Amino acid sequence: MNNRTISFRWLVVFLVMFPSVLWAQQANVNLDYNPQKNTEGLIPFSAPINSPEVHNDHTVTFRVKAPNATKVELPSGAIHTSLGLGREPLQFTKGDDGIWTLTIGPLIPDMYAYNLLIDGVQVADPSNTYAAFTAMPPYSQLVVHGDSPAYYDAQNVPHGNVTRHVYHSEVTKGERELYVYTPPGYDSKKKYPVLYLVGGSGELPSNWVYDGRVNFIIDNLLSEGKAAPMIIAIPNNQVVHRNHPKHTELTFDIFEKELREHVIPLVDKSYSTIQTPKGRAISGLSMGGRHSMFVGFSSLDLFANFGILSAGDNNPEVSLKDFLNDPKVGQKVDYLFVGQGTKEAQSFFNQRCQALHDALNNHKIEHEYYIGGHGGHDWGTWRHLLYYRFLPNLWRKN
């Protein structure tokens, strides 16, 4: 019996005794583009099993150790949208070992937020170390890798810095946070334009970093020579409880006051900025797109550039009449982008975006309207809109 035979027999014994150790990586050592691929034969630290496991054919296996559960499901979300499924949950199958499994796909390489339902209770995947928190209950991240790092991944290029500022607000009567990205080689002797980027309902400023990957997106664009160097300020646009019965009536005025009294002064004081409307842009997704529209369009003394992502209004002729009928709006606006996802445009979310686009056309207001990507009303769309359209055209049109 040779050494190779002995080694093989020990390997067989090892696999029989410890089958779960071949399940996945999630090492969290590097900012890997394929963190959920099985490369080391190890399960995530402190997890009972591996979930999710992403295979090279872009199928994904989820596992949940819940021997006493009666039902485990994957509810509708970004994954369903990518697969072209309806809103019915996908059912896990329970094994004799008490482990529930579900294999789906293939999925388009991207990042997908998801939750699980265990006996009707919504939870994050208990074995996935890639979790996210926001102003809503936590969820997990599925990272389906391609053959190489994606446009939103950390790559071997010069990187900018992201700084968290904590400040006191007299508007909201408390301590608030603001994230600021400065580009690689930031030089305080130069003046930079500033993009004010905001989130949607339930999003926090950190979500544009961890879910949106905006810092890696702009790093990669700058390294490719496809974007202008800029500062990106990410304020918290949650200024009143999202479930407040008068949220729509209150939020826009409060957020405008927060921008004017605290956010913009803090950024202009702390960084070397172009302090004119042409040097400022405001953009946001979903609710943040409506903030960008209702606050931005009424603040042309502050902003001349706009990115409306997955947002609009059902009756813009009334809600935006001052902006639409301003005879000098063409002189005041440098760049106006309206965009949404391909599958989003095939759903009820399209109504507001299309109405805004039509109103801008009716009033002959120059703008870029774009539908693209493979996503719906989710981060796959918003990352796509930033990289492929909005950021490359911002401050590069003239």
CA angle 362, 368, 369 (to 5 degrees): 75
Q: How would residue 41 be classed by pLDDT, with cut points 50, 70 and 90?
A: confident
Position 100 pLDDT exceeds 50? yes
C-alpha–C-alpha distance, residues 248 and 229, integer Å: 34
From-to residues of CATH 3.40.50.1820 in the chain: 161-393
C-alpha–C-alpha distance, residues 92 and 319, integer Å: 46
* pLDDT tens-digit series, residues 189-229: 999 999 999 999 989 999 999 999 999 999 999 999 999 99
Question: What's residue 8's pLDDT?
Answer: 42
DSSP strands (E only) in 35-171: 53-54, 60-65, 72-74, 90-91, 93-94, 99-104, 110-114, 116-118, 121-123, 131-132, 139-144, 161-169
Question: What's residue 396's pLDDT?
Answer: 80
Position 374 pLDDT exceeds 80? yes
Question: What's residue 134's pLDDT?
Answer: 86
* pLDDT tens-digit series, residues 309-330: 999 999 999 999 999 999 999 9
Higher pLDDT, 9 or 172: 172
Is there a contact between 91 and 102 (Cβ–Cβ < 8 Å)?
A: yes
Position 16 pLDDT exceeds 50? no
Question: What's residue 397's pLDDT?
Answer: 57
C-alpha–C-alpha distance, residues 140 and 115, integer Å: 6
Question: What's residue 24's pLDDT?
Answer: 46
Is the domain covering 161-393 a CATH 3.40.50.1820 domain?
yes
Diameter of the chain measured on Cα atoms:
91
Q: What is the pTM of this model?
A: 0.92
* pLDDT tens-digit series, residues 145-192: 999 999 999 999 999 999 999 999 999 999 999 999 999 999 999 999
Q: Domain 24-144's class?
A: mainly beta
Position 2 pLDDT exceeds 90? no
Higher pLDDT, 311 or 15: 311
Q: Which residue matches tokens 């405008």?
A: 256
Position 18 pLDDT exceeds 80? no
Position 1 pLDDT exceeds 60? no
From-to residues of CATH 2.60.40.10 in the chain: 24-144
Position 137 pLDDT exceeds 80? yes
